[in-house]
Amino acid sequence: MDTLTQIVLGASVSVAVLGGRLGPRQAAITGGLLGTLPDMDVFIPAGDPVEAFVTHRGFSHSLLTQAMVTPAIGEVIMRIIPASRGLRWRTYAAIYLCLSTHALLDAMTIYGTKLFWPLSLKPFGVGSIFIIDPLYTLPLLVVVVWALCSQNWTKYIRKAVIITLVLTTAYQAWCFGAQRIVLARTKEILRQADIAPDRLLTTPLPFTSFFWRTIVLKNDHYINIY
């Protein structure tokens, strides 16, 4: 997903877990930084653009790597932010959730994410959401801006961030379900046209989950179905 989405997702998760202790503003800033951390792999030198594309979403997006680095990051945060001391396991949980939700969200796009590197080099890409989707990002952005503008933790912020995370997760479920519906309709269209495809790829059109395209591969030809 785009950088803004990863920032507001990480910030929302951090506010939900640590906002009551760190305060909404500090929790949002901390989570926003953690939410972008896996994408730092783009600064690793690569031989060419193709290699850079393949390397991205690799080891830094692995759920296993993220679990390994969580304690180290947690100790650094507890040294920098005194309010997090005494909450070691909650801090660890917040860190891992910020990192892992980044990787899992990337895996919902079409580009592929190596979630289990180095045990598996296979990239996982569901392709059920476009890399920029305002319906997913904007609710998170609103609640994060609210947290950043608030000095004190309140039950209203707590309810708002939890409801927003539930709704955006439900939206991801809708996207996955819509993809299944479109794929089923595509197969029916192909059956009626007496076309047996070699491969199918169903993805949403830019910025939406209500309009879709399926690429149908057949021998050395392809068909676009909208």
Which pLDDT score is estimated for 86?
A: 86
> At 54, is the pLDDT very low, low, confident or very high (cuts 50, 70, 90)?
low
Taking each helix axis as running N to C, give the angle between helix 134-148 and helix 24-36, from 0 to 180 degrees, rounded to the nearest 10. Answer: 140
Quote the distance between the C-alpha of residue 47 and its chain's center. Answer: 27
Contact residues for 84 (Cβ-Cβ < 8 A; gap 6+) = 18, 21, 22, 77, 78, 91
Dump pLDDT digits (tens) for 8-44.
999 999 999 999 999 999 999 999 999 999 999 887 7
* Residue % of the chain over a pLDDT of 70: 96
Which pLDDT score is estimated for 208?
A: 95
Which pLDDT score is estimated for 11?
A: 98
Instruction: Report how far apart, in Å, the C-alpha atoms of 113 and of each of 59, 104, 201 are.
Output: 9, 8, 17
Average pLDDT, integer, range 63-70: 97
Which pLDDT score is estimated for 131?
A: 95
Longest dimension (CA), the chain: 67
Which pLDDT score is estimated for 52?
A: 66
Average pLDDT, integer, range 40-58: 75
**172 vs 44: which has the higher pLDDT:** 172
Which pLDDT score is estimated for 56?
A: 74
Contact residues for 74 (Cβ-Cβ < 8 A; gap 6+) = 88, 91, 92, 95
Dump pLDDT digits (tens) for 191-216.
999 999 999 999 999 999 999 999 99
Pick from 135, 111, 140, 166: nearest CA to 6: 140
- Residue 51 confidence (pLDDT) above 80: no
Encoded tokens for 142? 């609103």
**151 vs 138: which has the higher pLDDT:** 138
Angular region, 112: left φ>0, alpha ψ -120 to 50, beta rest: left
Which pLDDT score is estimated for 47?
A: 66
> At 53, is the pLDDT very low, low, confident or very high (cuts 50, 70, 90)?
low
